[in-house]
Structure 1
């Protein structure tokens, strides 16, 4: 389908109009003056940039411009050289070099032989009005911007945004009617950048590397569809592009933005205010664009695989991060300092409440960069003190903030902190300091040391807490006790005054906790004039809000400085929804009764006078039951079965939270036992018994065995690893492998890596070799302490399960983790933090799961008693069963949609085809795709629940219809159909159906050149469907040929096809009769000329290219076939020699040289135009040189 006009009218034009309303200049690409740049292959608008460099750079003090034209041109050459370096190094590295010049300037000798940093952009925008910012820098948008590629063809970019002639933003526009408009735009952007997404490869036939030079200085990429838009960078994968939903801080409400857009006539009437409008208003407003480029874009190292260096990516802020940081900056500027205008305390602080998983670490990084790279001396002198309460969290935050470019200092002791703070506000004192202040304070109520936390008797604490609440105590005080005044006063004296500078900003992480009041007391003495910002992602209990406001400050109405709720994060796909399911059975009750009976038998042998003391000391506790190996083993069997049926099929991993460190080690052995037993069952499993059984009729055990058989290679190799803190056993060395910090880091890194390879979606394809020997060490019995750690294998097994007690339940960022198996008591804030471990997004991850084996989620009113039924808290944790009505509702919506089109069911002769034809309107197809996607997403979340299995037949038929639609209308390139966007559980149940011969053999091939095309189309019983298939196939064939070859015969055929459709509209028998000859003509155009015998394939293509161009151009005579063949051979030899030479680079210089040589050859062979002088010959030479570059590999093969 051709979308060009729709995209220009509905996406590009409104985009440009909104930019113009904000002061951007607009020039159409076709109207761009020739002198704006040196050539069409140039990406810098050098004329504008040279003028801007001369205007911006002035002598300090006098403000006099000092640069001559030659000086400015040398500065432009520095940036041009870096942009062109992309030919010799990676795009990311070239972009990093260009960004450094953009932000910091280039060094140059100026007047009096002094060194100057020449700036390309005037970054002095803070505090200036919009008109002044537009006067200092030029903001230009060019639509349909052409760049000559290395192959001689032009790449046409929808929108390129220039600041002073430097391309800093590239926008790709796609019709909102496309099925995946934003995805298509992102993939095209990556193709243009020469960095195609690996899964898709390059989508443009014949494209050689795109135009990476344009993207070397580009800072932001935007995919737009009119209805929405998403922001990314040159390295962003599809899932990392983010929609921008905020209008703050520039507008208090969306209605204010709407009023501005209506005044500028960008919005009219009841037109919707879309995310595209918001992104343009927030990101591309000139002052904000400068701010974001300077402070909110940086390179970020990302660990991908153990033993390999991190991969660098370029990150840009999301809307909630930009909004929060700008609010902090505004508060630092406008809030009163302590003692200023009568302020008793500092009023520059506040609370940032962003739900867990929404990027808090990066928000702190952006804040550090925003302050320390600011040109405002009031901001860039701040010392930031980041206070955390966990070592692992401190490491995570310090690693994230380090990329901000600020100086990082990590305090190891109280003395360190005090020494670092004494430098605050002084030269050299600007830094980001990380400190675990509570670590230096000893035991304080509300403070829990990391090691102590893992040794706590959590069962006893849990039961005592519930008893206290039942007895009438305030649940908030039970869950989070506030240190009394005496304790606070005693602790605060341990810190001395370090700095009275107001240029200290304290950032307190996990600011929801009561112990924050103790930190506040300490810091009030150490840095009395500091501003304070509290960060938290855990809901703050209502009763604690007063203390929080006293420490950090609240906004009018007792609100936070910035909030980003769970429902917002789910909508933005920053997190995935979390659903829980209870699997706590009566095994614990039976085990407890059995232990009680043994206890009574045992105590009966003790003298009566000693029974009281003995009973108190030895009576079995709930922890004893939870640590019972038979109980753990029973749960492990169920856990593994749940994991194999669900998360494993998506390639995801799991975490187990056990009641104690001992139980965590037990779980490792129990899971290994369960795995060995399951693989033993797989060896006796015959999958052919299920081959012809419908998936919806499978039992849960059959699903388990089928998935275990399908994934047996992964299952056999996976490992289950405890990560626990060191305790009293440290002297004996027991559990050292699980407590050693270095080993833990290595285990966590391996856990974060994806599985090496997953089997195909269809379980019946691929090979599944049977296991020969039982898993070594699989069954370990009841004595896990006897295990010895042998030599490490050559290839370390993938870690599928991490088993913990308390470690990694907070602050652990693992997108690959989908399920948390909970077998320990947990409540209130700790529970909310733990469940967030599974809410990190990953590709094809539709939801996170919490599976409760302890029963803590049976009654959320009790488990979350401290939050007093706060709806936002409870909304973030819903049961799996709550998804079933939504899934059924999605199916019902799809049924109603098809019924509205007049297509009820899809079963029965011809119904599938008639429904396909009923979806001729692109809007209807887009809506069908949307509804089907929502249904299959809901199905994925519920599977393998029985309620979901019942809807699998509908999923198969509706997906088959989508496959037919894709092939018939060719909406996707090549008429392709892929289930890549659907979850693996769904794909596993429908993949085989879509590959059945009775399905594939009734779908016509995409191409009319396919030898089976006529036969398959002839078997379609419905005349209208058969003719429609021929129309779509011929139209697609001609569009593809016109796009790539543009021979006259294809344009003539396209016109004839349209004439037939117009003349015989709706008369399908007549249309079918007329189509036959047209298809025959199209096939003959592809057939080889008998007179071309002996020519190689590339020579035949060159012959056709040359023949068409000479025939079509009026300046040339109709070519003689003998002459044409000889000329083709000479041209092919020349081209092959040139592109095979060592000097051939494929760049502009080589291409120019080839054009000259072809021109000379054409003249020597006597090819002379009848009119137009030599210009037609030059045009032909240029065209043939571009064709040669496009097919350079084929011409080089001629010399091999």
Structure 2
């Protein structure tokens, strides 16, 4: 393999077509890197990401073979694919896969050494990229660092375990829910299938429920390009036996139930040809071996005692059926410390990626916990008192075969399903969800104890909000997802759907733009269901242990930059179970908490609110709320002006408000959040003006996404302001920027808020200079240097605000205006004038030749360039070489100083490239 890295020269290449670094392997541009200046506070990782999005539009051919996109600000570095949104660009946290780099090491260095070394990069590109297709789009996904190293460890441990002296225990990979466990299983399977030492293995993907089997099978099926085959589903044990005999190996999906001993198994010990006897469970029987092969690997999803019931003998049945197979487990929650059986089957942990690491890496968002028990005033007979008696209930089915268990369940279900209680929960839930969705648009899942309660709660909710209901599965705001039978009541029947219809509703829930906002479930979708736009889980069902951990993880998926965390809302009293889960989690070696108390977010919110209030302590900002709407319009610029008058005031206010909005989004509808709702709305409005006026690039998560996410918190009073334009905000008529007329400059000069006037004019001038860069390179560079020098003197305190505005910025604007007229006075159009200034930059040439000869040279240069250019001339060296010769000839012909000619040629060529599109149009 030939590895090449190219730095794209800025000379003559338009900014929107110039990535910084391109990595080629065998001539293919596989990695594109965009870098930003580490010392420039406005050059952020987000701006680098935005630049890549521009390249995708302006030079799409560069991305035909692309595998990875990398952005860096000189310290931090993130990696994604051509379809990744900014929230899905991830860091690479280790150089060697063993030690996680600390925060003192530049992440760019860690990524370049850890991910871009030749061995890792080739491995990543060939075995760790998949495509996920839906009805509307195709996503390209690359493994995160924790997936990459865990899979390689798991492959190696499997090879060792399946060897002649191996113990057939491949280990357990514990990666917290939401961090990509299913895709890790895909990457593992794809790599193990082609591992030469495994000699064409067969992988048996084992789940404990049919719906999980379907979900995981769909994930694998979508990745056939990587797996090089279509995963098979074993319909029964006979089919499984047949698939295990395929010598070329393969991937087979099955459920644990197919390893249950049957009556057939007893008969087969006497007559092996009997295969069609009724499938009656026969506890205590030995299951016949399905295959003696040594290169069978059983990959168990959620390897837990309670999932596979190892205590009751399934471990034995698995070994009986596949005596020489190697077992490996993937789990999103830790194995209970008391569970010795699971480790006996699978072995010890191969890799751990816990909650703390996942949140730090932004692979998941934190989950916050809110108890609504105090908010919903239950009568004594409506209160639920959970104790250890109901521990078993949380692990079993609703209709247990054991009479005692059924009686306990019935008593508890009657309390939880009390009609008055359901009405109160419905009322509170509707209020809570509407308040929360007004701040952060998203979706919610409601978990109920029984199918009856699911239906009753649905009826109570649509009684409050009738428009949320629809008989059409493609419409409506709320749906119940459950299975059922023909014996169910008529009221239940209308919620029972086929698998295909449930999937269609699931797709609606996953689509953030669909009108479906809430689903009510009992068991379904609590594991294996991935809908990143879910931000709230309402719990009214007893759960514990890994079942509870799996359920709450429905809301920990990364979504938009506005989703700072998921929220679990408790109507039953599961706080104690969450504490037990935390104790188990910590005992297993995991760091971080499964849930964080919402009060932490509230405390942070109030801390930031107080910081902003303190910054404005000498200004009566609350006067805003006493004003008429038309007066409010004029008051915001006054606040903005005050903030600009403070040292670092704009940055401090912007940063604190941005973080306040994040904490506020998690805290709503807490009483303390609702109490400052209008104040937060005002702060957001002020922040928007500051950012718009200063043109400050916020760069990280919580920028424009958070602005749109907190869309509804602006109260009626503030909405009446409805200002977007910065000139309206300043009380000015928006100028024609090309003219910068004297009347506007005079209005700006007379504006009482001088700090605001300075910021407005600075922005105007920067925008004007930036626009001129393409039209006139030399002049824009001169103006840019002049403006930066003036701003530097202002910030250093050498001139005050009034002097800076009246003696520097306004005259500077007039100077730009005069520059526009200069070309006209010389009788040159803007292209000829651009070449004129390219020649005029040399004072010796001006003194020697004079204006008339320089004008004539500029006109000839325009004709020559126009006649020499083709569509792709800027990248053809032969065309550029010929053009250089012609330019030199013209300069010599008119007596341009010989020692200055080469510099003039370079400047003219660069200017010609900036005007390239104009020449092609001509």
TM-score (norm 2): 0.78
Q: Secondary structure at the match of 1:981?
A: helix
Cα distance in 1 for partners of 2:120, 2:426 equals: 53
Q: Secondary structure at the match of 1:496?
A: coil
Give the alignment partner of residue 755 of structure 1, picking from 513, 519, 527: 513
The answer on whether the counterparts of 1:895 and 1:904 sit within 8 Å (CA) in structure 2 is: no
Match of 1:742 in 2: 500
2:303 aligned with 1:573: no
Give the alignment partner of residue 1044 of structure 1, picking from 750, 766, 774: 774
**Displacement after TM superposition at 1:524 (Å):** 1.8
Match of 2:183 in 1: 362
1:808-827 to 2 correspondence within 5 Å? 808-827=525-544
Cα distance in 1 for partners of 2:35, 2:886 equals: 42
Cα distance in 2 for partners of 1:297, 1:147 equals: 35
Give the alignment partner of residue 705 of structure 2, picking from 964, 980, 989: 980
Match of 2:814 in 1: 1080
Cα distance in 2 for partners of 1:291, 1:825 equals: 45
Match of 2:519 in 1: 802
Match of 1:971 in 2: 696
**Displacement after TM superposition at 1:352 (Å):** 0.8
Higher mean displacement: 737-746 or 162-171: 162-171
Match of 2:155 in 1: 329
Q: How many residues align?
A: 838
Give the alignment partner of residue 883 of structure 1, picking from 598, 601, 611: 601
Higher mean displacement: 936-945 or 826-835: 826-835
1:251-290 to 2 correspondence within 5 Å? 251-252=98-99, 254=101, 272-290=104-122
Root mean square deviation, CA, Å: 4.9
Cα distance in 1 for partners of 2:686, 2:887 equals: 54
Match of 1:3 in 2: none
Cα distance in 2 for partners of 1:526, 1:1016 equals: 87
Cα distance in 2 for partners of 1:1178, 1:370 equals: 56
2:255 aligned with 1:436: yes
1:445-464 to 2 correspondence within 5 Å? none
**Displacement after TM superposition at 1:536 (Å):** 0.9
**Displacement after TM superposition at 1:324 (Å):** 0.8
2:238 aligned with 1:415: yes
Match of 1:183 in 2: 46
The answer on whether the counterparts of 1:939 and 1:986 sit within 8 Å (CA) in structure 2 is: no
**Displacement after TM superposition at 1:362 (Å):** 0.6
- Structure 2 vs 1, CA of residues 1155 and 580 (structure 1 numbering), >3 Å: closer, same or farther? same
Match of 1:623 in 2: 413
The answer on whether the counterparts of 1:167 and 1:214 sit within 8 Å (CA) in structure 2 is: yes
Give the alignment partner of residue 510 of structure 1, picking from 302, 316, 321: 302
Q: Which digits, 9 at most, give the CA deviation of each residue in 1:888-909, with x for residues without a partner?
A: 234456678x59xx98987899
Higher mean displacement: 1047-1056 or 406-415: 1047-1056
- Structure 2 vs 1, CA of residues 1084 and 372 (structure 1 numbering), >3 Å: closer, same or farther? farther
- Structure 2 vs 1, CA of residues 1003 and 400 (structure 1 numbering), >3 Å: closer, same or farther? farther
Cα distance in 2 for partners of 1:1109, 1:212 equals: 32
Could you tell me which runs of 5 or more consecutive residues in structure 1 were left unpaired when the two chains were aligned: 1-120, 122-136, 195-208, 256-270, 304-308, 445-486, 555-559, 594-615, 680-715, 757-797, 1094-1098
Cα distance in 2 for partners of 1:443, 1:667 equals: 41
The answer on whether the counterparts of 1:1042 and 1:1051 sit within 8 Å (CA) in structure 2 is: no
Cα distance in 1 for partners of 2:383, 2:666 equals: 35
Match of 2:342 in 1: 548
- Structure 2 vs 1, CA of residues 739 and 1179 (structure 1 numbering), >3 Å: closer, same or farther? same
Match of 1:171 in 2: 33
- Structure 2 vs 1, CA of residues 728 and 1041 (structure 1 numbering), >3 Å: closer, same or farther? closer
Match of 1:498 in 2: 291
1:933-1082 to 2 correspondence within 5 Å? 933-952=658-677, 955-956=680-681, 958-959=683-684, 962-963=687-688, 965-972=690-697, 979-982=704-707, 984-985=709-710, 988-989=713-714, 992=719, 995=722, 1000-1002=728-730, 1013-1021=744-752, 1025=755, 1028-1029=758-759, 1032-1033=762-763, 1036-1037=766-767, 1039-1041=769-771, 1043-1054=773-784, 1056-1057=786-787, 1066-1068=798-800, 1071=804, 1072-1082=806-816
Match of 1:387 in 2: 206
**Displacement after TM superposition at 1:729 (Å):** 2.3
**Displacement after TM superposition at 1:1161 (Å):** 12
Give the alignment partner of residue 916 of structure 1, picking from 640, 644, 669: 644
The answer on whether the counterparts of 1:936 and 1:986 sit within 8 Å (CA) in structure 2 is: no
The answer on whether the counterparts of 2:381 and 2:415 sit within 8 Å (CA) in structure 1 is: no
Cα distance in 2 for partners of 1:1166, 1:339 equals: 81
Q: Secondary structure at the match of 1:818?
A: strand
Give the alignment partner of residue 537 of structure 1, picking from 332, 347, 354: 332
The answer on whether the counterparts of 1:159 and 1:171 sit within 8 Å (CA) in structure 2 is: yes
1:76-155 to 2 correspondence within 5 Å? 121=1, 137-138=2-3, 140-145=4-9, 155=17
Match of 1:161 in 2: 23
2:110 aligned with 1:316: no
Match of 2:390 in 1: none
Q: Which digits, 9 at most, give the CA deviation of each residue in 1:981-1026, with x for residues without a partner?
A: 3463366327738745999533887968555752553244466x37
- Structure 2 vs 1, CA of residues 717 and 643 (structure 1 numbering), >3 Å: closer, same or farther? farther
Give the alignment partner of residue 524 of structure 1, picking from 310, 313, 319: 319
2:427 aligned with 1:637: yes
1:342-357 to 2 correspondence within 5 Å? 345-347=167-169, 349-357=170-178
The answer on whether the counterparts of 1:960 and 1:994 sit within 8 Å (CA) in structure 2 is: no
**Displacement after TM superposition at 1:361 (Å):** 0.7
Q: Secondary structure at the match of 1:434?
A: strand
Cα distance in 2 for partners of 1:950, 1:227 equals: 40
2:42 aligned with 1:216: no
Q: Secondary structure at the match of 1:875?
A: coil
Cα distance in 2 for partners of 1:1037, 1:736 equals: 60
Could you tell me which runs of 5 or more consecutive residues in structure 2 were left unpaired when the two chains were aligned: 264-279, 385-405, 624-634
Cα distance in 1 for partners of 2:41, 2:116 equals: 25
Cα distance in 1 for partners of 2:138, 2:725 equals: 48
Q: Which digits, 9 at most, give the CA deviation of each residue in 1:310-357, with x for residues without a partner?
A: 522221111211121121123234x354652xx6x325x111111111
Q: Secondary structure at the match of 1:966?
A: helix
Cα distance in 1 for partners of 2:94, 2:787 equals: 48
Cα distance in 1 for partners of 2:508, 2:792 equals: 63
